[in-house]
Structure 1
Amino acid sequence: MNTKFLPTLLATCIFASSQAIAESQEDDDLFELSLEELISMEIPDVTSVSRKKQRLMDSAAAIYVITNEDLRRSGVTSIPEALRMVPGMQVAKLNANTWSISTRGFNYIFANKLLVLIDGRTVYSPLFSGVNWDVQDTMMEDIDRIEVIRGPGAALWGANAVNGVINVITKKASDTQGNLLSAGAGTEEKAFGAYRHGGEFGETGFYRVYVKAFERDGQVDAKGKDTSDDWNMRRTGFKSEWKTTSDSEMTVQGDLYEGTTRPPLRLFDETQPLDPQKDNNFVVDGLSRDQRGGNLGAYWKRTLSETHDYSFRAIYDNYQNFDYRIAEKRDTVDFEFQHYYQFWGKHDLVWGLGYRTTWYEVKNTSYMYLLEGKDSKKTELFSAFIQDDITLNEQWTFTLSSRFEHNSFSGYEVQPNARLTWKPTENRTFWTALSRAVKTPSISETALQTDGITIAQIGLETYLLPIRGNPELKSEKLTALEFGYREQFGNSFRLDATAFYNQYEDIIAYVDISQCPGRPISPPQNFCSNTDINSRFFEIPTTLINGLDVKTYGLEIVADWQARDWWKLQFNYSWLQVDALPNRNRTSFLDANEKIVEDLSASHTANIRSTMNLPNQWYFDSWIRYMDNLKDAKVGASTSLDIRVAKKFGDGLEFSIVGQNLFRNHHREFSETLSGIAPTEIQESWYAQIRWQF
């Protein structure tokens, strides 16, 4: 697509729309609302900061909410794509089905410092403490909101909530009654569809059931040639809720899914000779990665008053991954009790207890296998948390909280937090927070050997880096200081700004070892550390240590402007600086780790979103994204444009056309060497969608 006319096109659309709207504002009921009513409609209450409902304006944290309206108007078709809206959140696609997602640094394919929840269900993998984003899904129409905390949330949510918490909250079954049918097709979104039905049972019960499926096309290489990283998934699920007594309610929900991705892999195949003159010695294409799983959860809550309730949650989760590199199966059972009580009029106390256990099975392959004596099939996590919100007076609130955990990897962990809020006026808030959080070691870091996956090319030389897990690893630790300011100006403008300074200790890094890996590799010959294969290929066995200390600091700004009753603009910008330093004698490996940590995150990111309600139920939405260059990934700065044009017919039928990544035909967003996944380039795409609610 020729993009040099896009600014003119957008300006023309905006001017023409404003003229038309001036003539016929009576066409939409929305225009009957005042600016104050419009802006207040879009400031939802949040629950992720304090585990209880509170106004976003009162929250002493850098929290951003993606609403259901944001999801619909943006045209995104997956949760990872939606997270691009969040200030400071760096979302980069490695290929058509693999993302690297992080905030405030440490962005790579195994990003492991974000805790992700879907209706209270923790979805991070104990294998690598990250998230398999390609199986985290539901009907986008059923998501009520996505609450994203940038910064530590460990005092309430636990280990691995180091740089943030992503909490996906779906709608109540009572809010999704009737039928909804959604279907579409396009250039990359080849075909997708979903159907949901909601109904009632008994005198107080509501339910919904849904089915969803999609098939997405693969991307292209740097020359524009098609690759095979396509993706298909099928999913079904339900949610039901009912009152058990006059003051108690019960929710039961579950999902089943299965699907296949074909990520292009970059692996050392010992059965194939190496050719120093070839650039694609290691690319293995067309291999399927099958995944399936399901979950079932029950949630019970008793509300005695507005200031007194308690609840219990039980969740079972199954995940199965059949990968060319490694096959993994795991079953997780998670229990949690929570009690909220206000006493003495000034103390809001929330406390709880939790237990999680995971049974896992790792099938050894030529590329990954459990170390001898490290074949434990079970991990456990015991936890307790407490938080006290103390109202000092009408303007000042002081919050103390902490979480206490015992896990199978690092033993006991304590993660405290202190927050202070000052509200000089109802629409102005200042806050500060001091927090400690930890990221515990994972199975892959302590008990797994990888061979032939990590391939680094430096100049004309190629290094194979087998990585041996280290059972002596300690937790990575964070001490974070944050300052925030939030204000509502009049009826049409809202500003939110956060500054932060993070100090990390004992960040895990890989270093070389002076012994051969457990399984020698051949041909052309068995070789060991620094052995010349054929003048360009070397193997250097490595292991993991707590080898780096890191500091990050930055600024995040969010501005929402209701420019007209029919036109809203949203802007956010973030600046990030990352400085790493080895915490022991420097080596070339520690220096390389330092460079990776510093250069895999963008220094500057920004979003501008425009939503316009036009006459006769037409809608025009646009979204411009900017991400600075990723030096270590050798990816330049990029700007992308998405647009959406929609028309509603009556109350229930909507037709839309969405264009994504429109500034360039294709471009690379990310690249790394640790996972064995080869990068592809993201293409410009279009799709059409029809949504019918009846």
Structure 2
Amino acid sequence: MHTAGATLALPSAAAAGDVFFDDIPIVLTASRLAQSPIDAPAAVTIIDREMIAASGFTEIHDLLRLVPGFLVAQWPEGSPTVANHGLGDAYNGRVKVMIDGRTVNSPMRGNANWRELPVRTDDIERIEVVRGPNGAAYGANAFQGVVNIITRAPATEDGLTLISRIGQDGFYDHGVRLSGQPDGAVDWRLSGSRRAARTFRSPAENDGMANPQERFVLDTVNFSASTQLSPNDELRLQLGMSDGVHERGTPGSVADPIGEESFRANYLHLAWTRSFGAESDFTLQYYRQSEHVRPGKLAVAELGGRRTRLAVVDVDLDTTRDDLELQYSTRLDPAWQMMIGAGVRQESVRSRDYFNTRGTLYARHAQVFGSLTWQPVEWLKINAGGTFEKHDYSGDLFSPRLAFNIALSQQSSLRLSGGVAYRAPTLLQSDAEQVYREDGAIKALGLRATQRLQPERVRYAELGYVALLADLGLNLDVRVFHESYERYIDERTCWNPAIAADGTVTPLDPNNPLGRLPCRALPPSGYLPYEQTRPQRSSEMLNSGAFVMDGAEFSVDWRRPGWGRVVLSQAFIEIDAGKGVLDEDIEVSAPQAVTSLLLIKELPDRWRASIGYYHNEKMKWLNQGDVVPPRDRVDLKVSRSFGPARSDNEFAITAQSVGGRYPEFHEGKYRAEPQLFASLRLSW
């Protein structure tokens, strides 16, 4: 197999067919090298094109419901959130998210803006998910997993495709994909779409209080091209954007009125690969991304005091990321394989609301990474890898991993691996200074970075079993793991001392009779609260305690040509919080069991039916979230292909959440809406 097409940057056009369509699956994300899941040093789930189509999902975050242990939730006040094995909140940033190898997590909070990602499900070839820490390959923030969204290579398709989905309550999703001819000097694809949906209504509770609602309209455009500069050199280009408007707010609320928020994301991705042989290549890639949020309404903050006062706040947000990376891999001899690389990155954010400045904040990051695989005997592969990095907010970090893959047969193996991974503090956690002013004076404080945070750390060990039993049409993946977390970054309420007009500071009572914890830093200059004789509260970030997570998970993927396919995933999770953990809800942030089942049934006359079943036990989303009860979701899709035998034409009816609305993210506030829609895909 041509390894040049397996570098993480972008699969080459020449090798795309080999990498993505072999009978034996090949994964790219576990170690930055193309390899069979049998040989990978980490557990990897593949959501392939057939699963994407059969699921009926039109949003990328929903596809992760098919991954063992992954938790997905929508909420109406921000982008959907995804977590692995718990610890999730509204802006969860403990899973690294990439599109064709480029990081798309926000520099601001570390989360991924899932709905606004500049790529559509129709453009995705497959998604590879590393179900555990993978800092050895990707450094800080590949903390609880890695999601690599791999788009369809331009060389794999040609012609024109039109896609249209229309459903109830104003839902629509229209897209077009145009590809160049297969014999051209440049393989290219241009795709675009517009979609809209109402994700949350605002049901009135028994006391008459209304809850937030959300509706969105998003446009996405992507262009991808690749060309062979020479027999050994390939150049690849990707660029695109996502642009849309969210209508958010609470009916009748003064502090959260209904208004429109605009969002735009742009990216450029260039990669050059030089191939030196079948298993030796060099890749150089650069990418730039930017995100801009512009609320159409002005945020309103309560300033406190004996009478509630309101202040208008500038909440515009701009972020950028520039990344340059190189990677070289080669086989030294039949028993040794090596990969080495380096990268530099600069991230920036501008937000007057969160940082109390009109200026732009920057963070810089440099890393070197590598791995060495040794096969001393036919049945054993030993992989040692790691990433050393230097980060403005975390200092020097080293994330190592050691993995042993023991072949039980040509189709199965045991994996024993362990290592260390880190999560670096974000720009928000490191520099936040949220202040509210009136007549030039600071009247109240919000989130503040009052101390230098240490990066979160996890030490992990896992035992895995992988079997690819081609004769039976059966793939098995079993994993048990133990993860020990330290220095968990959390947010807590703290109290600022009373400050008089003449600057006199009255410290909090050292006996703390009301249980008020003092903030770890004095308020900024110019702080003059309305209540000058009483302490005022704000919030701060801090490292909080340690805890242990244990779990087991498995997936069974069985298929028979002409009959269909069954994909079953199950995870069991337990979290045990130790001393010093500020938020005891960490223990219930993971459901004890998570189940997903996708059944695909081939029917006569080119009909196909699929059923998706998703179950979570009771759990609690942290911070802005709350308890959600045990819940079941069932999706149905019936489709029929038509036209020439190899055409992509299809008509389908999809029903999502056929049981109706269900609690999502916060049982008392949010109910996810069901959806029924028809879809038509035509190709020429």
- TM-score normalised by structure 2 residue count: 0.83
> Aligned pair 1:620/2:609, yes or no?
yes
| Cα distance in structure 1, aligned partners of 2:561 and 2:367 | 49
Query: 1:316 and 2:288 equivalent?
Result: yes
2:36 aligned residue = 55
- What amino acid maps onto 1:594 in structure 2? E
5+ unaligned residues in a row in structure 2: which ranges? 1-20, 300-314, 437-443, 498-522
- Give yes or no for contact 2:108–2:319 (8 Å, CA) kept in 1: no
| Preserved CA contact (<8 Å) 2:97 2:148 | yes
Deviates further, 648-657 or 243-252: 648-657
Q: Does 2:474 match 1:493? A: yes
The answer to which of 221-230 and 544-553 deviates more is 221-230
Q: Does 1:388 align with 2:372?
A: yes
Q: For 2:270, which of 298, 317, 333 is the aligned residue?
A: 298
Give me the whole-angstrom Cα distance separating, in 1, the residues matched to 2:369 and 2:322: 19
TM-score between both structures, scaled by the size of structure 1: 0.82
- 1:360 is the counterpart of 2:360: no
Structure 1 CA distance for aligned equivalents of residues 458 and 93 of structure 2: 13
* 8 Å Cα contact 1:388/1:400 also seen in 2: yes
Q: CA deviation at 1:488?
A: 3.5
CA contact (8 A) 1:181 1:195 kept: yes
Does 498-507 or 222-231 show the bigger shift? 222-231
Go from structure 1 to structure 2 and tell me whether the alpha carbon gap of 1:265 and 1:414 turns closer, same or farther (over 3 Å shift). Answer: farther
Give the secondary-structure state (helix, strand or coil) at the position aligned to 1:578. strand
Q: Contact 2:487–2:546 (CA<8 Å) still a contact in 1?
A: yes
Q: 1:568 to 1:528 in 2, by over 3 A?
A: farther
> Which is further off, 205-214 or 510-519?
510-519
| 1:300 partner letter | W
Kindly state the Cα deviation for residue 57 of structure 1 after the two structures are TM-superposed.
2.6
| Counterparts in 2 of 1:546 and 1:228: CA distance versus 1, 3 Å | closer
Shift of 1:511: 3.8
Give the deviation of 1:649 after TM superposition: 1.2
Instruction: Find the partner of 1:649 among 642, 654, 661.
Output: 642
Q: Distance in 2 between matches of 1:282 and 1:581?
A: 42
Counterpart pick for 2:455 among 475, 497, 522: 475
* 3-state SS in 2 of match to 1:662: coil
- Describe how 1:211-230 pairs up with structure 2 within 5 A: 211-223=192-204, 228-230=213-215
Q: How much has 1:287 moved relative to structure 2?
A: 2.2
**In structure 2, C-alpha distance between the alignment counterparts of 1:86 and 1:521, rounded to whole Å:** 51
**Superposed, which structure 2 residues align to 1:595-610 within 5 Å?**
595=585, 597-610=586-599
Structure 2 residue 112 is the aligned partner of structure 1 residue 131: yes
Alignment partner, residue 240 of structure 2: 255
Q: Hey, what's the Cα distance between the residues in 2 that align with 1:114 and 1:558?
A: 20
1:205-604 paired onto structure 2 within 5 Å? 205-223=186-204, 228-264=213-249, 284-323=256-295, 324=298, 326-364=315-353, 369-370=354-355, 377-450=361-434, 466-489=446-469, 490-516=471-497, 528-529=534-535, 540-562=537-559, 565-583=562-580, 591=582, 593-595=583-585, 597-604=586-593
Give the alignment partner of residue 671 of structure 2, picking from 649, 670, 681: 681
Query: After superposition, what is the alpha-carbon deviation per residue over 1:251-303, rounded to whole angstroms, capped at 9, x for unaligned?
Result: 0110022111133379xxxxxxxxxxxxx978614122211121111111011
Q: Aligned to 1:284, what secondary structure does the other structure show? A: coil
1:91 alignment counterpart: 72
TM superposition shift of 1:617: 0.7
Unaligned runs of 5+ in 1: 1-39, 267-279, 453-463, 530-538, 584-589, 673-677
2:674 aligned with 1:690, yes or no?
A: no
1:34 paired residue number: none
1:191, distance to aligned residue in structure 2 (A): 1.5
The match for 1:668 among 658, 663, 669 is 663
- Residue of structure 2 in register with 1:194 after alignment: 175
The answer on whether the counterparts of 2:364 and 2:392 sit within 8 Å (CA) in structure 1 is yes
> Over residues 376-402 of structure 1, what are the superposed CA-to-partner deviations in whole Å (9 max), with x where a residue is unaligned?
622111110010011121100000011
1:214-235 superposed Cα distances (whole Å, 9 cap, x missing partner): 1112422455989640011112
When residues 416 and 260 of structure 1 are mapped into structure 2, their CA distance, relative to the original with a 3 A threshold, is same
- Specify whether residues 631 and 440 from structure 1 end up closer, same or farther in structure 2 by C-alpha distance, changes over 3 A only: closer
Name the CA distance, whole Å, in 1 between partners of 2:61 and 2:473.
Answer: 29
1:545-569 deviations in whole A, cap 9, x for unaligned? 2122121110111012236741221
Q: Secondary structure at the match of 1:125?
A: coil
153, 169, 176: which is aligned to 2:150?
A: 169
Distance, in Å, in 1 between the alignment partners of 2:186 and 2:342 is: 29
- CA deviation vs aligned residue, 1:306-351 (integer Å, no higher than 9, x gap): 1211110011112111245522112221100000011132111000
CA distance in 1, matches of 2:170, 2:447: 37
Is the 2:174–2:195 contact (alpha carbons within 8 Å) kept by the matching residues of 1? yes
The letter for the 2-side match of 1:437 is: A
Number of residue pairs matched? Answer: 603
**Cα displacement string for residues 619-647 of structure 1 (whole angstroms, at most 9, x for unaligned residues):** 10001110111246121110010000001
After superposition, residues 9-88 of structure 1 pair within 5 angstroms as: 43-88=24-69
- Which has the larger displacement, 513-522 or 124-133? 513-522
Distance 1:488 1:134, change over 3 A: closer
Deviation for aligned residue 1:43 = 4.9
Partner deviation per Cα, 1:6-64 (whole Å, 9 max, x = no partner): xxxxxxxxxxxxxxxxxxxxxxxxxxxxxxxxxx9665211101212111232231110
Measured in 1, the distance between the counterparts of 2:93 and 2:620 equals 20
Deviation at 1:541, TM superposition (A): 2.6
Give the superposition deviation at 1:607. 0.8
Structure 1 residues 173, 527: closer, same or farther in 2, change over 3 A? farther
User: Does the CA contact (< 8 Å) of 1:547 and 1:582 recur in 2?
Assistant: no
Distance 1:376 1:220 in 2: 36
**Structure 1 residue 503: deviation in Å?**
0.5
Q: Tell me, yes or no, if the aligned pair for 1:249 and 1:300 is still in contact at 8 Å.
A: yes
Mapped to 1, the partners of 2:414 and 2:426 lie a distance apart of 37
Residues 548 and 171 of structure 1: CA distance in aligned 2, closer, same or farther (over 3 Å):
same
User: Partner amino acid for 1:645?
Assistant: V
Distance 1:398 1:646, change over 3 A: same
Structure 1 residues 522 and 642, CA gap change in structure 2 (3 angstroms): farther
Q: Distance in 2 between matches of 1:69 and 1:163?
A: 26
Residue identity opposite 2:555 in structure 1: V
| Distance in 2 of aligned mates of 1:231 and 1:528 | 43
283-292 or 473-482, larger mean C-alpha shift: 283-292
